[in-house]
Structure 1
Amino acid sequence: MRLTLVQKILWGTVGAAALAFVWLLLWADYRVDQAAEGEPAFRAAFELTDHTGVVRTQSDYEGRWMLVFFGFANCPDICPTTLSEVAAIMEGLGDDAASVQPLFVSIDPERDTPEALAGFVPLFDDRIIGLTGTPEQIAEIPETFPIYFERIEEAGAPGGYTMGHTSHLLLFDPEAGFAASWPYGAPAEEILADLRKRI
């Protein structure tokens, strides 16, 4: 079957959009990797609402290591897998877990209200804090953190869309300085061993 000119143009547009999306994800991951070298390239800075409705900033976790992941509650695979890894890490830390605060920061403010996060985040570990904010607050996140996210229309997804996003797990030191990152799929044992050396 031969494609019409319009079909060729549409397929070309879809292909170009897919390539651009993959490039942006790789670029965001590259920025995280580059930031991991030398002195802290940036510090955590945020003012968001947690899943109990309390406004939080990085100062609330001063003196503790912050393990931060950006994602969304309707994520079908990457986010629940990473949160399960975080739960395993916290369990593996034993008494040292008190010095680490895991944070799940939503990049989907339209669906991820505090109430929605309250029904999602504790499913993995009750020590993980879910954070969300207004669309304006969430849109400002890439100005502070080297991450990328994008809304992607998808008819079969809840609300008719899904989110593409950077999948690194980020670590910040007790002064909120960037300390390390691990790509999606890094084994919990590897992350745990690294954390134990640091704390």
Structure 2
Amino acid sequence: MKRLAAALLFALPLAASADALKSGEFSPPRMAPDFTLQGSTGKPLKLSDYRGKVVALGFGFTSCPAVCPTTLAELAAVKTKLGAQGKDFQVVYVTVDPARDTAERMRAYLTAFDPTFVGATGLDAQLAAVRKDYGVTSTRTGSGANYGFNHSSFVYLIDRSGKLRALSPYGRAVDDVAHDVRVLLNQ
């Protein structure tokens, strides 16, 4: 009996840590600011329409040379790792470059990573308000047709009830992000 009790005392912290998020947590969790923008599907995209799913919300642009495609490829790998649970995981990608990123361009770009990924674009003022709500910075660099952006590269993980739960930095291991999404899916 003593051995069983000792084994349980040792196992409890391990079990508890299996449910812990590996990314930075919002403590306490709070509602994700809602927004409505033009979706890459051609219809309005309202973040709260994805309640019931775990959402990975990112910001970037289709002409991004490195960070954005890497992040989206990693999120596609996360979805693959989720298997059947992947149907309850939604990637929403908000542009920081509305001048180039039309709904059609975003749809073509995101579909290359996963056909279920959706993008959002809109007017400069609309997008600036969303970036402000999420604390996202975005600065245009360069000039002419080859301009780019320096921008925040975090991915926000939003639970099924619409609450901000975790902030995953660029370069977080796919297995760690998949773990966090699974934790949120199983709650």
TM category (shorter chain) comes to 0.7 to 0.9
- Kindly provide the CA deviation profile for residues 18-73 of structure 1, in whole angstroms up to 9, marking residues without a partner as x: xxxxxxxxxxxxxx95xx34112452311111112100112211111111110000
Show structure 1 runs of 4+ deviating over 4 A.
none
RMSD over aligned Cα atoms: 1.6
Identity fraction in percent: 31
**1:84 paired residue number:** 73
Offset at residue 154 of structure 1 (A): 4.3
Corresponding residue to 2:148 among 162, 166, 178: 162
Q: Does residue 195 in structure 1 map to residue 184 in structure 2?
A: no
TM-score computed with the length of structure 1 as normaliser: 0.77
The gaps in structure 2 that reach 5 residues or longer are 1-22
Change in Cα spacing, 1:122 to 1:80, as seen in structure 2 (3 Å) is same
Instruction: Give me the whole-angstrom Cα distance separating, in 2, the residues matched to 1:84 and 1:44.
Output: 25
For residues 105 and 142 of structure 1, the distance between their equivalents in structure 2, rounded to whole angstroms, comes to 9
- Give yes or no for the alignment of 1:151 onto 2:140: yes
User: In structure 2, what residue type is equivalent to 1:54?
Assistant: K
Give, in whole Å, the separation in 2 of the partners of 1:45 and 1:83. Answer: 22
By how many angstroms is 1:130 displaced? 1.2
User: Is the 1:45–1:144 contact (alpha carbons within 8 Å) kept by the matching residues of 2?
Assistant: no
Choose between structure 1 and 2: higher strand proportion.
2
The answer to whether structure 1 residue 103 and structure 2 residue 109 are counterparts is: no
Q: Pairwise mapping of residues 52-67 of structure 1 onto structure 2 (< 5 A)? A: 52-67=41-56
SS in 2 for 1:63: coil
Asked if residue 133 in structure 1 is aligned to residue 122 in structure 2, the reply is yes
Which residue is equivalent to 1:19? none
Q: Is the 8 A contact 2:54 2:184 kept in 1?
A: no
Secondary structure in structure 1 of the residue aligned to 2:27: coil
Cα distance change, pair 195–54 in 1 and its aligned pair in 2 (3 A): same
Deviation (angstroms), 1:175 = 2.1
- Classify the secondary structure of the residue corresponding to 2:29: coil
| Count of equivalent residues | 163
2:18 matched to which residue of 1? none
Aligned partner of 1:74 in structure 2 is: 63
Gaps of 5+ in 1: 1-31
